[in-house]
Every structure is written in C-alpha cells, then in structure tokens.
Amino acid sequence: MATRIYEGMKYGSRGGVPVADALTVEEALQVHINGKPFTLSMRTPGADEELIRGMLHSEAIVNSPDFHPKITPLGEKGEGIVTSVDLEIPKRYLGEGYSNSRSLLSVSSCGICGRTELGEQGFTGAALEAPGQFPPAIFSEMFEAMNRRQRDFMQSGGTHAAALFDAGGALLVVREDIGRHNAVDKAIGSLLLEGRLGEARAMTVSGRVSYEITIKAFKAGIPFLAAVSAPSSLAVDYAKELGITLLGFCREGRATCYAHPHRIAPQKIASPPNQTFVNDV
C-alpha cells in the first residue's frame, strides 16, 4: 500500500473542481530489539524487511552483513500495514550503533532528526578504493533507468527513490519511499538479503544528498553517489574523506562532481570548426 486516494478541490482561474488524487502513504513503524523499543520510523509501507535490514546495516546496529535477524510482527492496522515489529538479535551481532543506546526517531524528511550528537554515527574504516572509472554520460542512463521504475511517484508525485548499479552500470534494484533515507535503506537492504551488496558500485538518489546518505553509501561500500539536486557542504566533506565520488545536479545530461573526480572517465569535447581560441591569438 504505497498510495491512497484522497478527494479534494482543485482551484484555478475558472474556480474549483473536485479531484481524486493518489497521495503517498506515511505510517509509523515501531521497531523493538530483543523486546525493548529501539526506534520509530516514519515510512511508506512495503518492503519493510528491506528497510529494517538496511537501517540495521547503515546505523551499525548489526555488525555482520551475513546475519539477518528474525522479524516478528507485533501489531497491524487496516490494509495489512504492520505497525510494530520485534527483532531477535543475539548479543554477539549487536554493533556500535546499538551500544550507543540512543532512541532514534527516523522521520521521513531527514535521518539526523532526533539525534543528540554528530559523533553517534558508528562508522569506521579506510576510505573506499574504486578501481575503474565511469564515463559522465552513464549517469544520465542510470537516472533514466531509475525514473522508469518510479511507479509510486508516477501515481502520487510524493515519493523519493534510490537505485543501485553494478560496475557496468546495470541496474540492480530500485526502491521508493516517502523518505529519501528510507528509500536508500530499502535498496541496500534488498541486496543485503540477497547476498549481492558487493555488486553495487553506484547509487543514484532523487532529491538532495545529506551527509547521512553519503555515510550510508560508505557503509555499503558504494564508491559512486549521484543525486538529482545539490549535496550539502557536509555531504561533500564526508565524501572527500571517505573516498566517495559525489555528483550533484545530474539533470539533462549534465552533472557536477564535488569529490574524487579522478574516477570520472575523461570525455573528449570536439571543438567547433573554424573557432579561434584566446590562446591561439
């Protein structure tokens, strides 16, 4: 259940007319770990297992990509929407994100909301190394592939999307959610559950890029991150530090690279005939 139909009045120069619009569903999901409340996520219902598994990985709550906890539904509401779950995670699989013992409210707009300190990220490790390059034009193809599969957005205009691609630029997975961070977690979680996260080399996201999405890409081992809109200054700072090639404003065949541009393959630009350059004078 990604959308619901709502009635309204649409006003224009000729007055108002009744309309029935598909709007993106936003519902709360309470997550318990070993019987204790841990986090409340505002998300679009669907792919909840992927969302949870991606969140556990991105937030360093589970310390092994090969361990997938048992998920027990605790509550549901109409339309089969799960409202509460409990995760069984043995102590040996609990990571630093859990030992920080913070209660995280994961809202649909910004993943940092509800945190008390920027240091509560639980990410460590060397900067990503990425042999090989991507040509600039391939990012337009990636976004086209993602856009064609944004079915919920086509209905409601109210969802974000994240897509993962392999080293050849082939699409691996697309996921949507009302929250951009949730869409990223769902995409990562999907490949984790399939044991294929190691194939992902590039991520595209709709909207802007926050520093937290940069960290999610780092923790997933994805060295290329491209967005439709602008990155934040902190997203660029982290991308430079963590070894992520970060591109923004990927629209209409254009893109701006803000970190590690050496991974973008050189592109020859033909000079117009009979053109005189300043240096030639």
* Per-domain residue ranges of the chain: 137-263
257 is in an annotated binding site: no
Answer yes or no: is 88 a known binding residue: no
Residue 228 has a pLDDT of 92
Task: Please give the share of the chain, as a percent, with pLDDT higher than 90.
Answer: 44
Name every residue whose Cβ is closer than 8 Å to that of residue 94 and which is 6 or more positions away in sequence.
33, 61, 62, 63
Burial 110-145 (b: 16+ CB within 10 A, else e): ebbeebeeeebbbeeeeebebeeebebebbbebbeb
Identify the residue whose tokens are 């991507």.
134
pLDDT score for 41: 85
Tell me if 14 is assigned to a ligand binding site.
no
Of 191-205, 210-224, 257-271, the one with minimum mean pLDDT is: 257-271
Closest CA to 207 of 136, 150, 133, 261: 150
Per-residue confidence band for 235, with pLDDT thresholds at 50, 70 and 90 = confident
The CATH label, of 3.40.50.11540, 3.40.140.10, 3.20.20.120, 1.10.10.10, for the domain at 137-263 is 3.40.140.10
Q: Which residue has the higher pLDDT, 268 or 126?
A: 126
Q: Which residue numbers are catalytic?
A: 110
